Chain A
Amino acid sequence: MLAEFLQFLFSGITVGSTYALAALGFTLIYNSSHVINFAQGEFIMLGGMLAVYFTQTGLGLPLSILLAIALPAVVGLVLEKVAIEPVKGAEPVTLIIITIGASLVLRGLIQIWLGKGTFSLPAFSGEQPIEVLGATLMPQSLWVMGVTAVVVCALWYFFARTLYGKAMLATSYNRVAAEMVGINTDGVLFLSFAMSAALGALGGILLTPITLTSYDAGIMLGLKGFVGAVLGGLGNGLGAVVGGLLVGVLEAMGAGYISSSYKDAIPFVLILLILFFRPNGLFGGKTTDRV
């Protein structure tokens, strides 16, 4: 009974960590530009697929991981430079469609380059399961949770203690005011795309030894990360982390206790419920608009 519950909880937190990283990515970009980046899921896929590719070419795991984070970050920068910056101030729909177009391009290119197969990475530190109160925990799950925790702490430090982080926060509160005190808001936008791409890619790399990856793995992962971000109140960093984890856990519980064939539907039922009953997310405050 408890063992079963713990088992679902472990797998939920593991996959939820990836959703949390993706949700953070959505949040970063949303805060700096109000763009909902539908290409976020492709960064998750890119991370996993590139890590597989680099390890297969014979590079060691650490170097492969580094490259598989850096390259998507560069892709994020390019995307911002060529497709988002030129249409700054356009309608949200226009921006959404640009990011959807970008996600198709990325997915298509990877499919042509690496094929339609499913790929896996070796677990970072062995496959010897750890027994916890009757449930088993894979070492890779510890990696996923641990790295996510470290990244979240690092981000907190970045936003609370460093000048760049504070500049990004200021831009998200009030762009014009931020510009007036001399913050380079275009630079903030640029940086947020690189950071969110790197976050997504990292999540994808960590999860690949557990769930495998393929050229189209990003769609669902990205959408669920998005649900996590909305759940936590779009634009709220801490909310995104909690929201992402919650999506993962509820999904795992639903798959275990209710129906595994409806596993993928659970996050989307969740998004409808949250929009009906708490549209500002679990942690969002009441907002008012100035006319």
Chain B
Amino acid sequence: MSKHAFRGLYVIAAVLLVLPFVLPNSFYVDLVIRMAINAIIVLGLNLLFGFAGQISLGHAGFLGIGAYASAALPTFLGWHPLLAMAAGAAAAGALAALVARPIFRLKGQYLAMATLGLGIIINIVVRNEAAWTGGPDGMPVPAMAFGSFEISGDKHWYWIVAFLLCVSIWASINLIDSPFGRALRALHGSEVASKVVGVQVVRYKVVIFVLSAVFASIMGSITALYVGFVTPTIADFFHSIELVTMVVIGGMGSIYGSVLGAVLLTALPQALATFEGWETVVFGAILMLCMIFLPRGLVPTLAARLGKGA
């Protein structure tokens, strides 16, 4: 990480500034908003995968917590959407901490199993508690408003999400370069060695997991507020897998890889719409091919190639 780590951020910021003026219609604005939302979630997830070496197969569950907090709390209890968003984030964080503490004492891929279970449980709860969640049909989400000013439509949300994306990238770069980030990278390198030099392994892993869950919950809230409606599919297993795929295709441990992975995989279903019925097969095949031929992900592999050529 050096000065040029920020170069990519400047490029992304510039692109985000120009895009609304060149995009032909609101279909594309919507697509970019969804790309940016996914990119922010994936950044959080990638901190966990790439730097703590642990994977989560249930992150959509945390998205679901945020989304449903934003839907149910204002609707049934009259809470302000901002407060509801904070409550969702707190709940997701607390749940993540509760699960992570015992799990991270163990070695190996137990977090994958625990989060898999957790994600599916959250999804089942959301489907079953119809009085609070609307059940399988979902429920509308009251808009975020301050006084008489209501945040709605893709114009407002575009700028909010674009701003959040830039801040997230900036924060991630700084985090990785901080003592905390160095400790995390040491963890991924060798746990024993980092323990020996005094890194509190369990604590760091718990912190990064909780952080990624909070990230996901907030973005779940924002997704719900932006779309104005929430259904259980936001919390289902397949959505978790999509998020994992974005991380891995972009490149584990690569910040710009997260952005690229999110952009590509959000656009993919649109591109695959022409395959009519073959979407699942093509999606699965792309996953396999990427992992077989680019096991480190797009950005790290390309960076290594370019580095060699120079």
Interface residue ranges, A against B (CB under 8 Å):
36, 83, 86-87, 90-94, 96-98, 100-109, 111-112, 219, 223, 226-227, 230, 261-262, 264-265, 267-269, 271-272, 275-276, 279, 289, 291
Contacts and interface: CB of A to CB of B under 8 A. Distances in A.
A276 B102 contact: yes
Given A261-B128, A272-B118, A275-B103, A103 B284 contact: yes
A93 B111 CA distance: 12
Interface in B231-249: 237, 241, 244-245, 248
Interface string B120-132: 1100110010000
Contacts of B128: 261-262
Contact of A83 (B107, B112, B252, B288): B288
B110 interface: yes
Nearest to A93: B55
Choose among A90, A108, A111 the residue with the greatest number of B CB atoms under 10 Å from its CB.
Answer: A108
B248 A105 contact: no
Contacts of B109: 36, 92, 96
A108 B292 contact: no
A108 B284 contact: yes
Given A101-B287, A108-B284, A262-B128, A96 B55 contact: yes
A146 B116 CA distance: 32
A87 B292 contact: yes
Contacts of B282: 108
B114 interface: yes
Given A98-B288, A268-B121, A276-B102, A105 B281 contact: yes
A87 B291 contact: yes
A111 B280 contact: yes
16 contacts: A87-B291, A94-B291, A98-B291, A105-B280, A105-B281, A106-B284, A112-B277, A223-B116, A223-B237, A226-B113, A230-B113, A264-B120, A265-B125, A268-B116, A275-B102, A275-B117
A279 B248 contact: no
A207 to B, nearest CB: 20
Interface of B: 49, 55, 99, 102-103, 106-107, 109-110, 112-114, 116-118, 120-121, 124-125, 128, 192, 237, 241, 244-245, 248, 252, 277-288, 291-292, 295
A265 B292 contact: no
Contacts of B288: 83, 98, 101-102, 105
Contact of A101 (B55, B99, B291): B291
A101 B265 CA distance: 14
Choose among B248, B252, B288 the residue with the greatest number of A CB atoms under 10 Å from its CB.
Answer: B288
A90 B295 CA distance: 8
Given A97-B245, A104-B283, A279 B106 contact: yes
Contacts of A93: 49, 55, 248, 252
A195 B166 CA distance: 50
A108 B280 contact: yes
Nearest to B288: A101
Contacts of B113: 226, 230, 271, 275
5 cross-chain pairs, A with B, having the tightest CB-CB distances, nearest first: A104-B284, A101-B287, A108-B280, A108-B281, A101-B288
A77 B55 CA distance: 27
Contact of A271 (B117, B248, B292): B117
Contact of B110 (A100, A261, A275, A289): A275
B292 A86 contact: yes
A112 B281 contact: yes
A100 B285 CA distance: 10
A269 B117 contact: yes
Given A96-B109, A279-B106, 12 more contacts: A86-B292, A90-B295, A96-B55, A101-B286, A105-B281, A108-B280, A108-B282, A108-B283, A268-B118, A268-B121, A269-B117, A275-B102
Contacts of A223: 116, 120, 237
Given A87-B292, A93-B55, A105 B284 contact: yes
